[in-house]
Amino acid sequence: MLKQRLKSIASYVLILVAGLAVGLAAANVPRWLAPAYIEGDYSAYFPDAKTKVVLYATATCPYCAKAQEYLKAKNIAYVKLDINESEKARKEFKQLNGEMVPMLLVGNRQIRGFKPEVMDSALEKIH
């Protein structure tokens, strides 16, 4: 009897673990299928002809802070626009179909999230 009960409990635990794994994986599928960047003409979003990098961010986002540190470490000039502090930044972010921060415009590429390898590739293209 005890053996059968333990077997039933083990079965329930395996089903629970499998369900949780599938649920977590399913939630990430859109992110896994998203392209590394989106190409387009973003010139209207740069404040001047010299600026080649715009960072849409928030003050409380840790990945936004990482993106800023990354750009500073590489001596890349950029403009930071806080979407919580600036109505103009929030409007532009929505026009660009922004869903998450950080979102960077690097030349003709829009990069969503902190992706150093994708940022490097885009930065090489503008220098």
CA–CA dist 30, 14 (Å, integer): 26
CA–CA dist 44, 42 (Å, integer): 5
Q: Residue 111 has what pLDDT? A: 97
Q: Of the candidates 121, 48, 120, 47, which has an alpha carbon nearest to the alpha carbon of residue 81?
A: 47
- pTM of the model as a whole: 0.76
Query: Tokens standing for 88?
Result: 């103009």
Helical (H) or strand (E) element with 66: helix 62-73
Q: Residue 106 has what pLDDT? A: 97
**Which 3 state secondary structure label does DSSP give 111?**
strand
Interval 5-64: pLDDT, tens: 888 888 888 898 888 878 877 776 666 667 889 999 999 999 998 999 999 999 999 999
